[in-house]
Each structure stands twice: as C-alpha cells, then as structure tokens.
Structure 1
Amino acid sequence: MRFWLAGALALAAHAAPAWAAPITLDEAIAAAETHAPSLAMARAEADAADKRADAARAAGGPTATLTGSIGWGRLDPGGYFGLTATDVTPRAAQVGIEQPLFAGGRISGARMTARAGAEAAEAGVLQRRTTLRADVAQAFGGVLATQAGLQSASGLVKAVAVAANQAKLRFKAGEVPSTDVQQAEARLAEAEAVLANATGHNDAARARFRRLTGLSPDSLAALPGSPPLPATLDEAIGEAETRSPAIAQAVAGLAAARGQARMAKAEGLPQLAAYAEASSVRDQFFPGYRGDLASAGVRGRWNFFASGRIRAEGQAADATVHAAEARLADARGSVREMVIAAFANVRSTGLAAEAAVRQKRASEAALASVKQEVRVGLKPTLALLDAERDAAQSAMQAANADAQRIATAWGLRALLGRE
C-alpha cells in the first residue's frame, strides 16, 4: 500500500505541470515586470534622482560643523617672558552654524536641475514599463502565431505527403499522368521548406518570450481582446501630449537646462550667509595659554572678475537651453507622428485580423470541397495540393494578423504612456 501511494504521488507530481492553467498575457506582463533587469535599473535610477532632489532642497537650509584637534608635544619659548620648556597638550575646538541668505540663484538653480532630473527619471521608468509591456504583448502573440504556423506547416507536410503517395499509386494504376506525381513531390519539398522556416521562427519567438518574462512558453492562453484605447485620433494625440514619457523627459530636460543656466549666471553674483561660531583653544602658543571666542554676523563672497569665464559659461548655458527647447519641439512632433501612425496601424491590423479569420474559414471550406471533388475525379491532384497550401497559408496569416493586432494596440498604449 505504501509503495502504491508513493508511486501515485510521484505520478501526480510529474503530471502537475500539465494540469496548470495556461499563462495569460496579464500574467506574462506581471512576470516580465518582476524579471526585467532594465526596469529594475530604471527604478534604481529614479530612486537615486529622488535622493539628489532631496539633497538639493536641503542645500538652502542651515548647516552646522564641528572641528577639533589635539596633540602632544614639548614647547620651548627660549626663556621668553621667563617661560621654560615644558610638555604641552595643544588642543582646539570650533563649532559653527551657517544659514545662506542670498546665493544669486545657485541654490534655486540646483533645486530646479535636481527636480527635473527626478521627473526625467520617473518618466524613464514609465517609458521602460510601458515599452516592456508592449514588447511582452508582441512576444506573447509571436509565440502563439509561430506555434500556429508550425502546426499548419506540419499539417501541410502530412497532407501533401499523403497526396503525393496517392498520386504515385494512381500513376501506377494508370489513372493519372506522371506530371501529377512530379507536382506533388515539388509541393512536398515546398511544404518541408515551410516547416523548417516555421520551426526556426518558433524557436526564436520562444527564446524572446523566455528572455522577457523568465517563463517557459509551453502553455499560453489565447490572445485576449485589444486593451482600452482612445476612441478617436484627436483623443490619442491629446493624451500623448499630456502623458507621453518621451515628451515628459524632454520637458524635464528643458527645466534642467534652465536650472543649469541659472547656476552658471549666479557665479557672477555675490553670496551672503548668516553665521554663528564658537571656538576654544588651549596650550596653542605657550604653556597654559587659553582662548575662547564666540561671534555671529554676516559673511559674504563676490567673485566680481573672472577674465570672462563666467560670462562665457552663461552664454554656453543659454545655448544649452535653446537646444533643449528644440529637443522638446522635436519630441512633440515625433510623438505626434508616431501616434498618428500607430493609431492607423491599430485600425488596419484590427480589420486585417477580421479579414484573415474570414479567409481562413473560407479556405477550410474550400479545402473540404476540393477533397471531395478530387476523390470522385472531378479535379486533379494539383487542385488538392493548391487547396492544402491555401488553407495552411490562411491559417498562418490569421495567427500573424491576430498577433499584429495585439502588438499594435499595446504599442500605441506605450506611446501614450498608459500602464
């Protein structure tokens, strides 16, 4: 009894993967977001940019410093003031607090630059995530399409092989000419080439899916319907202008350039800060020496001449701002163009998928009719071979069209910044 139970458990464990539910597209996307190193890198970069923004914000607050020193030695004043050589322990300590009052734009420029960097990094995370989802949708559909192509190609080889054998038998019986046999053999070689090509495409599609998701594509669910999308082209363009990661990064780049320009020009302006300091010194100049000091006030610094360096750096920063403005305009134009093309592709691939399904059904019905007609001698073997090829091609086209439908839909969502 115990051996029977152990065998049953082992059999159940071996068969468990076959009972598992097929992987859905949503599950594949979730696995990819957990698995993708590029998305993890983008998130880490965004965290670092957030911390840099925090540091820039803190630069306008007060800072407190504490310095000190202690030593051991022997001091010999040479009889000055009647002092003789003696061992001393010179030590000093100083504590200070400083609060910037005016920095000419250095602090505000640094804050603007750091904040823009954080916004650009967040847009980069969104872009990476939406692009990854589109890539997974394309890879998911690609596996299903190549699997369907492989199945159709395998079926075509078997069907053409049967037709070729029948043609040979009928030729031997004197029912058909040798041309039928030669045509069947040629179509069989063609079908075998199609099968080899389909095998290669399927292997590549499986490898890409596994790389993106970390999952094995042995059991995938059918493709779902297209995800929600804008109803009109105007809505798609408006949403892209508001949410597109590419545009958001260009906007952040312009803000960062303006912050850098403010910092560059601030180099020629004075700086003011309020301070308070206290210090204590012992045994510094002669044995028993002590000195304590406490002070508060305003400290300033003005670099009013730098041989043209500050002016040149300001002009360079202004040119960088103009370049960033041009990049933003280019990004908006490029995104608009891509959205228009993607929106049209979504419509066309949807219609193509519907047409491909109708073509597949018609080809299958035609194949069934041709089989009957060839069987009773109303049509030659070549007609059956053509019908078999047409049916296989239409099945492949239907699978590819459905994969294109889902890929273009998710591609448009990536352009819009939809998650």
Structure 2
Amino acid sequence: MALPPSGAAWSQSLQEALAAAYANNPTLLAARAQLRATDEEVPRALSGWRPSVIISGAAGYSDTTNRSQASVPIQRDFAGNVRNEDTAGLPFSAYTNSPRNTGSLQATVTQPIYRGGRTTAQTRQAENAVYAQRSRLLQTEQQVLLESVAAYVAVIRDQEEVRLNTNNVQVLNRQLQATNERFRVGEITRTDVAQAEARLAQARFQLDQAQGNLQSSRAVFLRLVGVEPARVTAPPPLAAPVRSRDEAVRLASDNNPAVVAAMFDEASARDNIDVQFSTLMPQVSVNASTFRIDNNASRGSRQTGAQVTANLSVPLYQGGAEHAAVRQARQQAQRARQAVDDARRLSAQQATQAWETLGSARAQVESVRAQIRAQEIALDGVQREAVVGSRTTLDVLNAEQELLTARVNLVRSLATLINASYSLAATIGRLTAQDLNLPVQVYDPRAYYNTVRDRWAGTGDYSDTAQQAPTPQSAIQVQTLPPPSGQRRP
C-alpha cells in the first residue's frame, strides 16, 4: 500500500491508520505466513493417495580373484608310459583375476491402495487445522486493529491533555502575575502568592507528564501502524452492531474467532483418533520395479528383469505403543472439547464487559459534560467574588483545577467510549478490514490454499497469489458524537 508522506498538512484519519497497520504490521504478516504454512499440511496429507517413484543406481570398479583347486594330470607318451610319475596327481591352486567396471540401475513405483484409513483421516485433520488457523488469523487481525485503534485514540487523548495542561500553565502564569500585582498594593498576603506559585509548579509538572505520555503513545502508534502519527483527526465511536447485551453474548459465543478456532481444533483432535487407529489396520499396496545389473558376476555379464507385486501387511502386535497413541488421542479430543466450552464462556464474558463498559462510558461522558458546564459557572462566580474580596486566591485556584480535571476526564471518557465501541465489535467478530471498509487490498486466505492443495510438485513460493476479497454486503457504520459546546472533541 502506498502511504502518503507524513507532514503537518496531512490529516491522518483512523481508517488510513488502520489500513497501514493492516498492510504493514509484522504480527499480522507473521500470522498470514503461519496460515500459509498450515495450508501445506493438506497437500502433504493428500500425498498418501499418490504413487512414489524412486530411481536408484550404483556404479563402481570391481577386481575379483577366483581360486580353484586342481591336480596335475597324468601325461603319457605314445607307448602309454607315464611321463610325469613324480608330479602326476599332485594338487595345486589356480588363480583367475577379473577386473571390471560394474553398474546397476533400478526403478520402483509404489502405489498405496489402502492405508487403514490414514490418508482420509489425515486429510480431514489437515483441513480442520486450516480452518482453525484461518480463525486465528482473523483473531490476530482483530487484535492488531483493536490495538491500533487504541494507539490512535491514545495519541489524540494525550495531545488534548497536553493542550489542556499547556493552557492551564498559561492561565496560572497570568494568575501569578495578577497575584503579585495585588500583593504589591497590599490587597493580599504573601501566602496567596505562595499558593499561586505552588499551583503553577504543579501545572508544569502535569504538563511535563502529559508530554511524556504523548511521546510514549506515539511510539506505540509507530510500532503498530508502521508510520509516524501526523495530524490525527478525532474518530467517532462505532455504532453498536447489537441492540442488547444478550444479543452480544449470543453472537460472541458463536462468531468470536477464538470460539471458531477452538471448534475446528476439536474436530481436528477427533480426526487424530482415526489417524492413530490406522496403524492397527491392514496396509495394501502395489509395487512395480525394473532393474539392470552390468558386470556383476563377471566381465560382460548383464542381468535385467521386472516385477509387479501386491503387498499386504497385517499388524498383529507391535508392542502396544499404537494402542497407547489411540488412547492418548481420545483424551486430547476430550481436552479440545472442554477448550471449546472455555472459549465460549470467555467470549461471553468479554462481550458482557464490552457492552457494560460501552454503556458506562456513555454515561460518564454525559456526566462529565454536565460537570464541566457547572464548573465553568462556578469558576466564573468564584473569580467575581474574589475581586470583591469574598473569595481567596486558593478558592480561585481550586476552582480552576477542578475545571481542568473535569475537562481531562471528558477527554479520557471519550477515549474510553471509542475504544469500548471497537472492543464490542471485536468480541462478536466484526472488527475486520472488510467490516470496517478499510481502503486496502483485503488478504484472501483461500488463494494460497487453492493454489497448493492439488499441486503434485513444485518448491516455489506462491505467497503472492492472494487476491482481493469481495466487498462485504454489510459493514459496521460509525455514528457521530457531538462535542460539548466550546470544547474540541478528542
């Protein structure tokens, strides 16, 4: 994705930041690579149906010496007289050297016919593992987007707190100057001046703290999104995709990616029982081979041949390890079944918490707004009363501090409201790039799977085969949250 250069004139929306995180976040990219690696388990399982072809050869040099026992034959002359009476019949050894180049070549084709159901079970297990990993990819995508939203909102929140604290320092500076003038003419005491100085020092400390928090938030933003935050604009909260807490709990229990992944993990664990049980079943295969052997026994000799055999293997007893593996697989399936229940309960808890947090944040926003309106009126009254001497400098400083605290609380409450709205969408599985209509090419998790599933050979990298997914029929919409009068929305 081409990203525009950061600068003071560029307004960086939340969707643009989320699109950058979707395209560049290392955690999300690693999860996609993990899914592609899991996709390869399916062609590995399907290879159990396919033949294996092996060609083997050997070449070398051989020098063979043959030793044979013999005896000296009897030799006679023309009259029939023995001519070698002294050596006739004596044994001796005969040696024959046979140096030669040897070679052999063999081709074997093996076709599995029946493997005890292992290939079918492994294929089902691999496919369920793929579906589980796809759900985990969605879970990672939602987590990255949710953290990016929080980082984006944190930058705006901290910027607003810096602005409020900067304004507070300026106000207290003017307040200190006015206090010094009144002290010089004898209207107030030195105590009032000291109180104004102490409050100004505290305001400077709060400003330094807010600036440090802002730099930390910017660092988190850079880590998640991959670019520096520019002129971020205040995002509205998501409109709640559900109408009640019960609906949120129901959808979360069915659609949360963690629940879906646990369900496919359970199915994969059940398939593993059949995989382990296949070791106790008969095995049937067909084997065809042809060979050629040159100069094996002697120089100039050659052997050729071919054969086709049907092989049957029936395991009777193999020590009991296979039986233990089957029992172990059954217990692993039970553990996976309990993990599904735990994932459902956890998603229901998260949905309940997100719903209640969202409602609480909305109530807090309204309460703090009412508090700000009251504090502004109170501050104006305290300042007027201080002019006529019925209020002290400390009363004015306290009123200003209470108003500042209320405004900071409004900023934080609005940030909590926005984060809670996105968290609620994440608990029911609706915080994806498609649901948010992000301006980015959507990663298609099926493209790589379809490319490699039936591939018989090839060692290349097919990770660039992901195509753009279709546009979703319905996406989550955002709602406008009006800012309070005279205040800028964080």
Q: Which amino acid aligns with 1:180?
A: D
Shift of 1:293: 2.6
Asked if the contact 1:42–1:128 (Cα under 8 Å) also holds between the matched residues in 2, the reply is: yes
Asked if the contact 2:250–2:348 (Cα under 8 Å) also holds between the matched residues in 1, the reply is: no
Partner of 2:41: 52
2:9 pairs with 19, 28, 38, which one? 19
Asked if the contact 2:237–2:417 (Cα under 8 Å) also holds between the matched residues in 1, the reply is: no
Partner of 2:138: 126
Partner of 1:333: 345
Please tell me whether residue 92 in structure 1 is matched to residue 104 in structure 2. yes
Please tell me whether residue 42 in structure 1 is matched to residue 65 in structure 2. no
Q: Which amino acid aligns with 1:212?
A: L
Q: Identify the range of structure 1 (165-174 vs 45-54) with the bigger mean alpha-carbon deviation.
A: 165-174
Distance 1:266 1:25 in 2: 53
2:268 pairs with 247, 256, 270, which one? 256
Shift of 1:79: 6.9
Deviations 1:306-340 (A, max 9, x none): 22222222212211111111111111111111111
SS at match of 1:292: strand
Deviations 1:68-119 (A, max 9, x none): 2233333445579x99644433332222332222212322232233223322
- The TM-score normalised by the length of structure 2 is 0.75
Partner of 1:4: none
1:218-367 to 2 correspondences below 5 Å: 218-226=230-238, 229-367=241-379
Shift of 1:248: 2.1
Shift of 1:342: 1.2
Asked if the contact 2:237–2:421 (Cα under 8 Å) also holds between the matched residues in 1, the reply is: no
Asked if the contact 1:157–1:191 (Cα under 8 Å) also holds between the matched residues in 2, the reply is: yes
Structure ranking higher in helix proportion = 1
Please tell me whether residue 416 in structure 1 is matched to residue 406 in structure 2. no
Please tell me whether residue 117 in structure 1 is matched to residue 129 in structure 2. yes
Deviations 1:200-247 (A, max 9, x none): 222221211121112222421112232552222233233323321211
Quick one: structure 1 residues 304 and 318, their matched pair in 2 at CA, closer, same or farther if it must change by over 3 Å?
Answer: same
Q: Which amino acid aligns with 2:41?
A: R
Deviations 1:12-40 (A, max 9, x none): xxx993322x1111111111122321111
SS at match of 1:215: coil
Shift of 1:250: 1.4
Shift of 1:148: 0.9
Q: Which runs of 5+ in 1 are unaligned?
A: 1-14
SS at match of 1:19: coil
Quick one: structure 1 residues 142 and 298, their matched pair in 2 at CA, closer, same or farther if it must change by over 3 Å?
Answer: same
Q: Which amino acid aligns with 2:305?
A: L
Q: Identify the range of structure 1 (370-379 vs 40-49) with the bigger mean alpha-carbon deviation.
A: 370-379
Distance 2:125 2:239 in 1: 37
Please tell me whether residue 396 in structure 1 is matched to residue 390 in structure 2. no
Partner of 2:211: 199
Q: Which amino acid aligns with 1:149?
A: E
Asked if the contact 1:97–1:277 (Cα under 8 Å) also holds between the matched residues in 2, the reply is: yes
Partner of 2:75: none
Partner of 1:161: 173
Q: Which amino acid aligns with 1:224?
A: P
Asked if the contact 1:145–1:399 (Cα under 8 Å) also holds between the matched residues in 2, the reply is: yes
Distance 2:221 2:133 in 1: 27
Q: CA RMSD in A?
A: 2.6
Distance 1:170 1:285 in 2: 122
Partner of 2:52: 63
Percent identity over the alignment is 27
Quick one: structure 1 residues 270 and 241, their matched pair in 2 at CA, closer, same or farther if it must change by over 3 Å?
Answer: same
Quick one: structure 1 residues 308 and 217, their matched pair in 2 at CA, closer, same or farther if it must change by over 3 Å?
Answer: same
Partner of 2:21: 32
Please tell me whether residue 213 in structure 1 is matched to residue 225 in structure 2. yes
Distance 2:306 2:370 in 1: 91
Partner of 2:201: 189
Number of residue-to-residue matches in the alignment: 403
Q: Which amino acid aligns with 1:53?
A: V
Asked if the contact 2:7–2:230 (Cα under 8 Å) also holds between the matched residues in 1, the reply is: no
Distance 1:360 1:96 in 2: 86
Distance 2:48 2:377 in 1: 76
Deviations 1:30-75 (A, max 9, x none): 1112232111111111111101222212222222222222333334
Asked if the contact 2:168–2:404 (Cα under 8 Å) also holds between the matched residues in 1, the reply is: yes
Q: Which amino acid aligns with 1:267?
A: T
Quick one: structure 1 residues 238 and 284, their matched pair in 2 at CA, closer, same or farther if it must change by over 3 Å?
Answer: farther
Asked if the contact 2:6–2:230 (Cα under 8 Å) also holds between the matched residues in 1, the reply is: no
Please tell me whether residue 74 in structure 1 is matched to residue 63 in structure 2. yes
Q: Which runs of 5+ in 2 are unaligned?
A: 70-93, 433-490
Shift of 1:144: 0.8
SS at match of 1:59: helix
Distance 2:174 2:152 in 1: 33
Quick one: structure 1 residues 300 and 353, their matched pair in 2 at CA, closer, same or farther if it must change by over 3 Å?
Answer: farther
